[in-house]
Amino acid sequence: MRNIIFVVVCLLLLVLPVTKINQAEKSEVENRKLASWPEISRENLFQGQLAPALEKYFEDRFFGRDMLLKISYAYNTFLKDHYENNSAWVGEDNWLFYKNEDSLRLCQNMVLFQEEEYPLIQQNLTSMHQWMTEHGIKFYMIYLPNKEDVYGEYMGHHIKKRTRPEADRVSLVVDYLQQQEAPLVPIYPLNRMLEEKKRSDALLYYKNDTHWSQYGAYIGYEALMQAISRDFPDIEVLEPAKMDFSPRIKWEDGDLARMLTLDMRQELADTWYVAPQPRQGWQYYVIEEQFLQNGKVYYQNIIHPHGKYYIHTVNPGGRYKVIVFRDSFGINLLPYLAETFNDVRFYWTMDMDIAQYKDVMAQEKPDLVIFESVSRYAQYSLLNNKF
């Protein structure tokens, strides 16, 4: 009887994880995109690519994985005195930092684009620019600095940033494209944010989260609009004189704090974040929202804001029609763009492959297309392009 029970338990342990496959696009625990179902083809099979891809798919999506990760993170964090686990760690002065997706190695300039990749990057961006131009669209790309590049001094004395090269990989790409006089050069407001950090006490990133604050997003908005205004001088930009910088908010539900299973309400009780807003109040409004869950778009009134797959805003007093492709950082940029332009459609695309939206752009005929991505995802859009 004991042997039968043992066999049954073993079989359950083997079968249970695949009884309910997680269909989500993203792991909220790890803050990353989950592996997709691989393309099953004879070529993939004979080249030995199918089995590893299937293994990665089931490894990412088996039943109970998120629960096990939370238990593992809590256990590892407890063993390390609440300082670190596989996804994040506590730096100095209650600053938390992200470990996944090569974040630390990126900050240390250990992940750079290779010399032979620079011409490919230029070719990819030029093909996107040409397609947009042929369809009468002005195209702008903005990469947002990783938190570690702006507040790296709080990462801990045991973590050193490499001094060579002095610039990070996105800065090096921007320099190369400028030297080549490329028709499309991404906007990268790292230096602008570092200058603002010295000038103001307002925090540009949340201490307990990977994302920039509303004030950080406003600084990024200024850098973006500086470029756009050269092509559209009639746009009414939300300049500092038009903004109220007195509103303050708390940010207690940080994704890094959740990864570390930390309750930091007491430690961050005196930490407030500037939330700039127009002195005349917000004039834009949302006319449609769609949400992505289990691979399908659906409508719902309450959901985590990063889960909004599509947001359509209108401001009767604004000008121009805009399409914005964004990642999760774009949610704090949204109010400023929605307030500036007449009609804005925001798409959250996890893999940042905007070529799949060519039909949408051709049909909607926007005046501008804006692409936004955090720096750690830059390789997806710079190296992978189907235009």
High-pLDDT (> 90) share of the chain, %: 63
The answer to whether 102 touches 376, Cβ cutoff 8 Å, is: yes
Q: Is the pLDDT reported for residue 298 higher than 50?
A: no
CB atoms within 10 A of CB 327: 20
Q: Is the pLDDT reported for residue 82 higher than 80?
A: no
Query: What pLDDT, on the 0 to 100 scale, is given for residue 19?
Result: 58
Q: How confident is the model at residue 387 (pLDDT cuts 50, 70, 90)?
A: confident
Q: How confident is the model at residue 332 (pLDDT cuts 50, 70, 90)?
A: very high
Query: What pLDDT, on the 0 to 100 scale, is given for residue 282?
Result: 97
Q: Is the pLDDT reported for residue 123 higher than 80?
A: yes
Q: How confident is the model at residue 58 (pLDDT cuts 50, 70, 90)?
A: low
Q: Tell me the average pLDDT across 176-203.
A: 97
The DSSP code sequence of 306-339 is: GGEEEEEEE-TT-EEEEEEEE-TTHHHHHHHHHH
Lowest mean pLDDT among 299-308, 352-361, 378-387: 299-308
3 state DSSP class of 287 = strand
Q: How would you list the strands of the sheet with 368-374, edge to edge?
A: 138-144, 368-374, 319-326, 341-348, 308-314, 285-293, 296-298
Q: Is the pLDDT reported for residue 360 higher than 50?
A: yes
The whole-model pTM stands at 0.79
Q: How confident is the model at residue 327 (pLDDT cuts 50, 70, 90)?
A: very high
Query: What pLDDT, on the 0 to 100 scale, is given for residue 51?
Result: 66
Q: Is the pLDDT reported for residue 11 higher than 70?
A: no
High-pLDDT (> 70) share of the chain, %: 74
Query: What pLDDT, on the 0 to 100 scale, is given for residue 66?
Result: 61
Query: What pLDDT, on the 0 to 100 scale, is given for residue 302?
Result: 36
Q: Is the pLDDT reported for residue 295 higher than 70?
A: no
The answer to whether 167 touches 190, Cβ cutoff 8 Å, is: no
- Residues 194-243: tens digit of each pLDDT: 999 999 999 999 999 999 999 999 999 999 999 999 999 999 999 999 99
User: 32 — phi, psi (to 5°)?
Assistant: -150, 165
Query: What pLDDT, on the 0 to 100 scale, is given for residue 40?
Result: 72
Q: Is the pLDDT reported for residue 345 higher than 50?
A: yes
Residues 296, 309: Cα–Cα separation, whole Å: 10
- Alpha-carbon separation of residue 228 from 190, 256, 362, 371 (angstroms): 18, 33, 21, 13
Q: Which residues contact 127 (CB under 8 A, 6 or more apart)?
A: 385, 387
Q: Is the pLDDT reported for residue 158 higher than 90?
A: no
Lowest mean pLDDT among 216-225, 301-310, 365-374: 301-310
Q: How confident is the model at residue 300 (pLDDT cuts 50, 70, 90)?
A: very low
Q: Is the pLDDT reported for residue 297 higher than 50?
A: no
- Residues 271-292: tens digit of each pLDDT: 999 999 999 999 999 999 887 6
Residue type, 237: V
Q: Tell me the average pLDDT across 16-24.
A: 62
- Alpha-carbon separation of residue 170 from 14, 181, 203, 218, 336 (angstroms): 44, 16, 23, 21, 24
Q: Is the pLDDT reported for residue 352 higher than 70?
A: yes
Q: Is the pLDDT reported for residue 28 higher than 50?
A: yes
Q: How confident is the model at residue 166 (pLDDT cuts 50, 70, 90)?
A: confident
Query: What pLDDT, on the 0 to 100 scale, is given for residue 47?
Result: 55
- Higher local confidence (pLDDT), 296 or 17: 17
> Each residue of 18-43: b (16+ CB within 10 Å) or e?
eeeeeebbbbebbbebbeeebeeeee
Q: Is the pLDDT reported for residue 172 higher than 80?
A: yes
Residues 282, 124: Cα–Cα separation, whole Å: 37
- Alpha-carbon separation of residue 356 from 105, 325, 353 (angstroms): 30, 11, 6
